[in-house]
A and B are shown apart, each in its own frame.
Chain A
Amino acid sequence: MKQLICYLLATILLLSCKKEGCTDDNALNYNPEAEVNNGSCQYYDVTPYTIITPSGFPDMIIPENNPTTLEGIALGEKLFNDPILSSNNTLSCVDCHIKNSSFSDPNQLSIGIDGFLGNRNASTLINLGWNSSFNWDGSAKTLEEQAFEPVTNTLEMHNTWENVENTLNSNSEYLSLFKQSFNINYIDSVHIVKAIAQYERSLVSANSKFDKFYRGEESLTLSELNGYAIYNSEQGDCFHCHGTLLFTDNLFHNNGLDSEEPFADIGLAEVSNNPLDNGKFKTPTLRNIEYSAPYMHDGRFATLEEVVTHYNEGGHYSSTVDPLMKKLGIGLQLTNQDLADLVNFLKTLSDKEYISEK
């Protein structure tokens, strides 16, 4: 017992020789001379932001190491709209994910900074926090992971992370915003994608005409109701893939677009290396579908009428076509009125507030 007390005293003595203060160089009151952290460090307070789960939606899964804050969302929005992320300072995320088009590209394929076309249609960005994978082939598992990609993609922003970090670290405004959002002095790629992901998670749409109908606040027209009945039964069978209030099952399917194999784009198989996944793509949400033309992974259809005509014809046979496309070769046999009703129903998923300026 006596010995223990001696030891304790000795350590306390030793400690007291060293200079106390805040030793965390990310803190506001960092003292470079301090050798012992005395718990006095002060940081910017961030304001936690809770993304409200619309009723009928599952809980959003937010990575533990990237809690959403007001500061982080605002910073992410700024980055999303700033061409500073591209190598020649000309192209921002929002140039391909255009707000009026529900954050998608009205061009069939997007043009990168070097003037080259990509090979896929830029996806709509909506309710992303509920997706379990990203990109048409599911190549990214989280929004953070996804945001790493466009910056360096040679067909998109064609930059290097080293260059992005250098540019942002010599920008005093960004230095102060990153400090306020994450309490860091040096801006690194990890925190850049964290901020962007926070902003993307805050892009929630749940106030379409259909939502209002679902909540009992508004009614649908007879045409929209007929479209809904077709959509939501085995007659049209749309709900099996584009189901729930998210209007996607978050799974991958071949919906019978092409019969010629090998496919020009093998989709999921590129990620899974499983030939049974050839030609499967992530089911996109149908929210705001009216605004996000053109349609499909390669933007092949310009209008919703073309899309419903594709399904009405039953789709094309290929070795991986989904068994849910059970009317292959027969078609859905919908009348012209039914097809118009189906399109009218799809348009009830439009949320004007979502795409209008704040």
Chain B
Amino acid sequence: MKETIQTLFITSLIIMTFSSCEKPNQTDLTINFTHTVDAEELTTNSMIYSNSAGENYDVRTLKYLISDITLHAENGNEIILSDIHFIDISEESTFSFTVEDFPNNNYTSISYKMGLDTIKNTNNLHINESYHSAMVWPETNGGGYHYMKLEGAYNNDSTFYNTHTGGTMGGDYSFNNVDNISLTIDDDLGDVSININMEINNWYNSPNQIDFSSYGMGIMMNMMMQMDIKMNGITDVFSVDIICTK
């Protein structure tokens, strides 16, 4: 009995010493979602923007889903940071999330998908998620979820545009982005943030010029427009940058 207690005591002393002295510095990795128009931080509800078709517009609603956010390491390891993340411009708590105690490695790229691929985009699959009711896509039009709702007024404050992307008639218009990065996480790095930026104006400009007066009233039934917006999205809507805080 006595011996056992002694051994226990000594072991716990040893454990305590180890954990207090040799605990490596941990890295908390934060993913931020940022939004710009013409490289300036987004201001909502203010008609100060214009697209390449020459229409002035404001942004009132922006809600979207990013899925499969993954870091890829040099040695082939992959870490999924988030399966699906919902961003709502009116809810600050959705602008970022943090993965604590991120494993050391040489990370060489980050990938993330705009929207949901066919497997993730089935009816009522995310029924208990906070975004379910805000993002649901009508079953009579393929079902699943909106990838993005981008809404506001254009030209004057009583004509509205709704850019709603999603799986029109069951199609898959989600797209993957891969950005090369150079991020070595080791004991000395400290905390790190990765910003994923959406350049809103670029949804409308190239390679396909999209004007609100033709498409503002809705594109949910329009497969060609879903494709055009997807192509614009792939081209230059998203970008990534890394900020080390130490």
Residues of A within 8 A of B (CB): 56-59, 228-229, 232-234, 237, 239, 243-244, 246, 248-251, 276, 317, 319, 321, 323-329
Contacts and interface: CB of A to CB of B under 8 A. Distances in A.
B122 to A, nearest CB: 13
Nearest to A249: B133
Interface of B: 45, 60-61, 124, 127-128, 132-134, 136, 138-141, 151-153, 157-162, 164, 216-218, 220-221
Contacts of A244: 132-133, 136
A326 B158 contact: no
A233 B137 CA distance: 9
Given A58-B128, A323-B153, A326-B217, A233 B133 contact: no
B160 A326 contact: yes
Contacts, number: 68
A329 B133 contact: no
Given A229-B140, A234-B162, A323-B61, 18 more contacts: A56-B124, A57-B127, A58-B127, A228-B140, A233-B138, A239-B136, A251-B133, A251-B134, A321-B158, A323-B152, A323-B162, A324-B151, A326-B160, A326-B162, A326-B216, A326-B217, A327-B217, A328-B160
Contact of A325 (B61, B139, B160): B160
Binding site secondary structure of chain A: loop
Given A58-B128, A234-B221, A323 B161 contact: yes
23 contacts: A56-B124, A56-B127, A229-B140, A232-B138, A232-B140, A234-B164, A234-B218, A243-B136, A244-B136, A249-B133, A251-B134, A319-B157, A321-B158, A323-B151, A323-B152, A323-B153, A323-B162, A324-B160, A326-B160, A326-B161, A327-B217, A328-B158, A329-B159
Contacts of B160: 323-326, 328
A78 to B, nearest CB: 33
Contact of A239 (B138, B157, B162): B138
B168 to A, nearest CB: 11
Contacts of A59: 128
Contact of A243 (B133, B153, B157): B133
Contact of A326 (B45, B140, B157, B218): B218
A72 to B, nearest CB: 25
A222 to B, nearest CB: 15
